[in-house]
Structure 1
Amino acid sequence: MTVTQELSAPLFAVIGSTGTQGRSVIKALEESTKPYRIRAVTRDTSKPASKALERLGCHVVEADVGHLESLRAAFTGATYVFLMTNSDYADQSPDFDHEYSQGKNQFDAAFAAGVDVIAWSGIPSMKKLYGGKGKVDNFDVKARITTYARSLTSPSGIKPKIIDVQPGAYLTNYIIRGPPRPSPTDPNAFVFGLALPPGASLPVIDMEEDYGKYVVGPLEWALDGDKGRWVDIETVHAAPGYITPLDMAEAFMQASGKSVTYAAIPDEQLYGFMQSVAGARAAGCLVEMYKGIREIGYYGGDDLGPSNRHLARPARTFSEALNARPEAIKRIFEPEA
């Protein structure tokens, strides 16, 4: 169904509308059988991605996640909002406190604007899953934001419903330049490596194509339209299933027709590469994340079945997502001379 301008349709405000997550949410709203008005929230309404959203039928507005009043204006009149934060590894504030402030602003504005339902891109607390013995700063800041949001009270006395939609590992992490993307040992043989044993479980999601499905599908199911009441869904694990690194290597082999073997990467090697391309803070977070996955699992080993039962259309598996990206496969396995 196309985006509508009918005032009878609910208004859905989307933060980060020109980025990966927000655009995926808008895509899922477009594909829904239900009509929505969409308010696409961005920092710059003049850029090409914003103009494309206007042509789609969205109302594009400017707001700054660091500015509470601009957010409140962006959310006023909305029934639903989608909120998110980006981790800035160049930010040296302790425990990503700058990101925490941005998330806090979004929830404060949504509560003040009186929205009914908030979908939030959170993530599990590795510190909590570790039992306090370790942490992953860029995970834990989002978990802190979730805790803050659930502690809020509404000026009207009626609290918005909050769905914490936790994305799995991004598929794009494994098809970009350099490790962990498969690397050639000769023209027809490649090695794929992660800082995980070959049988570890990793939830991987094609964010651009599928993340929005985990926002819109569960929200529509939770509204329980036939009975007109809300059915509680507090947390959604946004990934179609778990896959092992060994099976990921097999999927690359099937998609490319090349030989692909798996080799676990030592933490020190991963840290060194990531430090060279993204800095020490990003490298440290990534190493700690893989340690957490090895010890307790990305979602603490939770079953992903419940999170996938309420999707209007299934999310792509890792193999399906690779096969849908022939250009990426060609760049990896048939690089230009």
Structure 2
Amino acid sequence: MSLEREVSEGKLLIDAAKATGVKGIIWSGLVSIKKISGGKYTNDAFEGKAQVTEYGRAAGVPFVDVQAGAYATNFLNSSFPFVVKEADGTYALPSVARGTTVMSIIDIEHDYGLYVRWVLEMPVFPDGLNVYATSWDLSQEDQARQISEGTGKKVVFKQITPEVAAQRLISLGFPPAAAAGTIDTFQSMEEFGHHGGNPSTSAEGLALPTRTFAEWVKSADWSRVLV
């Protein structure tokens, strides 16, 4: 989907909600990595959601942005594998960012709704609030280690160059612009932090505790990835 279409459809959603007379809007946006980096990095998916967020905040309806971290289910996506099999039969978690780079990850099925519920159950709808919904803040090295421990497979972190990453993404069917945007996202994360450096929202006060990454790893179906 093009940036223009994504923004247009997002604005239509805001307009439709406003037309029904809703008392508040909860939207799942993303930060603009282009703005954060002063134009050094960009990703149309992030820019589109950031533009819709700005539009929503100006719409005149109480508005809360509940941003999701990286989806844990991405680790299980065989068509865009976060974990790849090496020639020696072991597995790697490849990234253009350093292994110490911390990612905010969300168990979208189990935990994201807890943050939305937390907003809805506040005594007063918190207009203007940004919520950075996260299950775990983990370095990429820790991700690989815990996947290895939880699955019994040898999984290690592996830093790769942007050129190698681009070749890999394009071989998976990514258009060159989308591949470049994905690479920019991880480079921005390393330089400026996930959520643009904004801290993850505390899980204290949620109706239920979030699961640990180790718990998620053990419950996940890795059969399409660790083969």
How high is the TM-score relative to the length of structure 2?
0.90
- Identity across matched positions, percent: 32
| Residue equivalent to 1:202 | 103
Tell me which structure has the larger Cα radius of gyration.
Answer: 1
Amino acid at match of 1:209: H
- Cα distance in 2 for partners of 1:253, 1:241 equals 17
- C-alpha distance in structure 2 between counterparts of 1:265 and 1:311, whole Å: 38
Distance 1:273 1:101, change over 3 A: same
Q: Kindly report which structure 2 residues correspond to 1:72-221, keeping only aligned pairs within 5 A, or say none.
A: 88=1, 91=2, 96-153=3-60, 160-177=61-78, 179-187=81-89, 189-220=90-121
- The 3 A distance-change label for structure 1 pair 232 and 117 is closer
For the pair 1:275 / 2:170, whether they are aligned, the reply is yes
Q: For residues 232-274 of structure 1, what are the alpha-carbon distances to aligned partners after superposition, in whole Å with 9 as ceiling and x for unaligned?
A: 5611111123101110111111111122221112111211122
SS at match of 1:208: coil
Q: Which aligned pairs between 1:22-41 and structure 2 lie closer than 5 A?
A: none
Q: Distance in 2 between matches of 1:173 and 1:218?
A: 26
| Structure 1 equivalent of residue 139 of structure 2 | 244
Q: Distance in 2 between matches of 1:102 and 1:312?
A: 32
Would you say how many aligned residue pairs link Structure 1 and Structure 2?
225
**Inter-CA distance 270–182: structure 2 relative to 1 (3 Å threshold):** same
Residues 274, 283 of structure 1: 8 Å contact kept: yes
2:70–2:105 CA contact under 8 A, matched in 1: yes
For the structure 1 residues 236 and 305, does the alpha-carbon distance in structure 2 shift closer, same or farther, using more than 3 Å as the test? closer
RMSD of equivalent CA atoms = 1.9
Give the secondary structure class of the aligned counterpart of 1:199: coil
Q: Is the 1:183–1:192 contact (alpha carbons within 8 Å) kept by the matching residues of 2? A: no
Q: Which residue of 2 aligns with 1:39?
A: none
Structure with more contact order per residue of length (Cα contacts < 8 Å, sep ≥ 6): 2
Contact 1:171 1:204 in 2 (8 A): yes
CA drift at 1:302: 2.0
Which blocks of at least 5 consecutive residues in structure 2 are unaligned? none
> Deviation digits for residues 2-33 of structure 1, max 9, x if unmatched?
xxxxxxxxxxxxxxxxxxxxxxxxxxxxxxxx
Determine if contact 2:29/2:50 at 8 Å carries over to the other structure: yes
Give the unaligned 5+ runs of structure 1: 1-87, 154-159
In 2, Cα distance between equivalents of 1:131 and 1:246:
28
Amino acid at match of 1:331: R
Amino acid in the other structure paired with 2:7: Y
8 Å CA contact 2:24, 2:125 repeated in 1:
no
Q: Is the CA contact 1:205–1:318 (under 8 Å) kept in the aligned structure 2?
A: no
Note if contact 1:203-1:241 (Cα within 8 Å) is conserved in structure 2. Answer: yes
Q: Secondary structure at the match of 1:166?
A: strand
Tell me which residue corresponds to 1:253. 148
